[in-house]
Structure 1
Amino acid sequence: MPRRPIYITDLDHTFLRSDLSVSNFSAETWNKKAESSIMTIATARSFQKSQELLKKIDINAPMILLDGTIVITPERKLIDLKTIDKKLGDAIVDVGIQFDIHPFILGLKDNALNEAFLYPEKLNDYQRDVLKGYKDDSRMQFNPNNLTMEQNLKIVYFGYEEQLRPLYEELKKVFGTSIEAKLSPEKYGGGYFLTLLHPKGDKAHAMKKVMEYLERDHEEITVFGDSVNDLGMFKLAGTSVAVSNALEEVKAVADLVLPHSNDEDAVAKYLKSIG
């Protein structure tokens, strides 16, 4: 009996439309494919937000969340967790303060995997715009002293490239391999974001954990993506697929570049085309 194929998709700018919706066509195509395939996601978003955005979607394998820091089943069984401890987290923030930039911090507030989203007192214009999208988020907590948590999932700086690139270079110099640092364009607002993770808290390491759980080989996977945090998965997967609106550096390493964008249901059209 042939083994079920495995598909893992990024969400923002890949599977989700730019207004964060899932079209009926995408939902129906995905769910039909899930009847005979292993289907899951790899996203920078949290468990809570992914559940909200994907109410119409059937996911039948562990999900890669928060850039790879959490691997968890749809039933909320934890497979893997990679966090930055408070000592290292506070040291990272101290470097940012030297550059006059204060971060957002996403961490765990209890053993039930409930998250807290800490935001600073000092905000740049770009951070203020980002916060508007979280005004009704129950995870939000004011963090005037810029202190990190005991278990930090990721530390994120939003701003502009000229602000964040010097900080990115300094953090790599100071902390080396003890952190994973990713600097990337943010397509919704036109700025940049800098994400700091556990060195094994990225999507590529998380994908390996999913494969161990499924007892399958990474060469059996097809992955879909658009951005820098998808590159590790692209290098590991048997087939890597970029949507037409992906960053050029992502398209350059993809096995296949789709003719459609996320707003044209690119992933679903591909899944339908292969039967």
Structure 2
Amino acid sequence: MTINTKTLYVSDLDGTLLGADSRLSAGSARLLNHLITEHGALFTVATARTPATVVPLMQQVEATLPFIVIGGAALWNVQQNAYEQARPIKPDTVLTIADAFERNSLHPFIYRQHGSLLHTHHFGPMSDQESRFVAQRQNLPLKRFFLDDAHYRTSPDPALLIFSMNKYRVLKGIVDEVMPQVQCEVMLYHDIFDPDDGYLEICAPGTTKALAIKRLAKRLGVERVVVFGDNRNDIAMMRAATWSVAVDNAFDEVKAAAHEITGPNTADAVPHWILNDLLQR
């Protein structure tokens, strides 16, 4: 096998590499393994997901590079099953943000690295939406939930992510209140099914998928970065890439930002594009 050291290929997961069932198809897994083992392709994923769901989704892929997880807040070393280059939020920033939530009678989820595990802390009653969120993730091997934790703000473990789900206008009010007081990366977005609902993700300054890709590319010494995406939160990393590819099911804004449009996520489009690219070089 000759390792292709010139190009780094990075794909978003949901809506891009994963199919309509939010799983990696057997065809995509086989083709990615062929690309990695036979062509030496440098391939990884960049996602807002945590290793708790990324690892089982990608378990059929013979990955050689770390996964970019939690929106760029850390890398996940596949060989060592461990976090790398985690970017924690300062403790005083965590307190300031938690105070803002509590003034609005809310409490966020605080994701903290505890060795190779992700401890997710929450205090107080949860909404039905939050309860469903926890129930769907409670038995994952790389994640532990600490609910009704009165010390959720001050755990000694480093905080990598502060996350909340609520009405968009409520979360927007918290963002407007807290942003003048802290330095951090904030992503506030509407639910794709109900635009009145929203999701808020807060990470340390300099924590984005785009910057994480740049750091990984520099570490690998590649000459070219190709990024694949479908959603609005992929646009920044697509703009930071040498070449960007939107899947056919992407939002119109994403297609407009991309250099090229390929097939849909339901047709194993990402690995097929990479294979064609490698064969042309």
TM-score by length of 2: 0.85
Native 8 Å contact 2:6 2:222 kept in 1: no
Matched with 1:235 is 239
Give the distance between the partners of 2:76 and 2:63, measured in 1 at CA: 11
Matched with 2:164 is 157
Distance 1:173 1:188, change over 3 A: same
Give the distance between the partners of 2:159 and 2:185, measured in 1 at CA: 13
Give the distance between the partners of 2:234 and 2:93, measured in 1 at CA: 25
Distance 1:228 1:89, change over 3 A: farther
Give the distance between the partners of 2:5 and 2:117, measured in 1 at CA: 35
2:64 counterpart of 1:60: yes
| Cα drift, residue 247 of structure 1 | 3.4
Matched with 1:83 is 88
Matched with 1:27 is 29
Distance 1:149 1:23, change over 3 A: same
Native 8 Å contact 1:11 1:41 kept in 2: yes
- Aligned pairs (5 A) from 1:94-109: 94-109=99-114
Give the distance between the partners of 1:194 and 1:91, measured in 2 at CA: 16
| Cα drift, residue 155 of structure 1 | 0.3
Give the distance between the partners of 1:252 and 1:48, measured in 2 at CA: 32
| Cα drift, residue 40 of structure 1 | 0.7
1:183 to 162, 185, 188: 188
Distance 1:185 1:33, change over 3 A: farther
- Aligned pairs (5 A) from 1:1-275: 3-34=5-36, 35-36=38-39, 37-76=41-80, 79-109=84-114, 112-137=115-140, 138-145=143-150, 146-150=152-156, 151-175=158-182, 178-187=183-192, 191-217=197-223, 220-260=224-264, 262-274=265-277, 275=279
Which AA in structure 1 matches 2:167? Y
Structure 2 residue matching 1:45: 3-state secondary structure: coil
Structure 1 residue matching 2:85: 3-state secondary structure: strand
Give the distance between the partners of 2:112 and 2:194, measured in 1 at CA: 24
| Cα drift, residue 3 of structure 1 | 4.1
Which AA in structure 1 matches 2:98? V
Structure 2 residue matching 1:140: 3-state secondary structure: strand
Structure 1 residue matching 2:105: 3-state secondary structure: coil
Structure 2 residue matching 1:81: 3-state secondary structure: coil
Which AA in structure 1 matches 2:178? L
Give the distance between the partners of 2:262 and 2:103, measured in 1 at CA: 43
What are structure 2's unaligned runs of at least 5 residues?
none
Deviations 1:210-248 (A, max 9, x none): 11220224xx01111223432331121111122233334
Give the distance between the partners of 2:54 and 2:168, measured in 1 at CA: 28
Deviations 1:18-37 (A, max 9, x none): 43321111111211222321
Aligned-pair identity in percent equals 25
Give the distance between the partners of 1:131 and 1:49, measured in 2 at CA: 13
| Cα drift, residue 148 of structure 1 | 4.6
Which AA in structure 2 matches 1:121? G
Give the distance between the partners of 1:149 and 1:255, measured in 2 at CA: 44
Structure 2 residue matching 1:83: 3-state secondary structure: coil
Deviations 1:124-152 (A, max 9, x none): 33222322311323511114434253310
Which AA in structure 2 matches 1:129? R
Give the distance between the partners of 1:228 and 1:12, measured in 2 at CA: 12
**Mean alpha-carbon deviation: is it higher for 232-241 or for 124-133?**
124-133
CA RMSD of aligned residues (A): 2.4
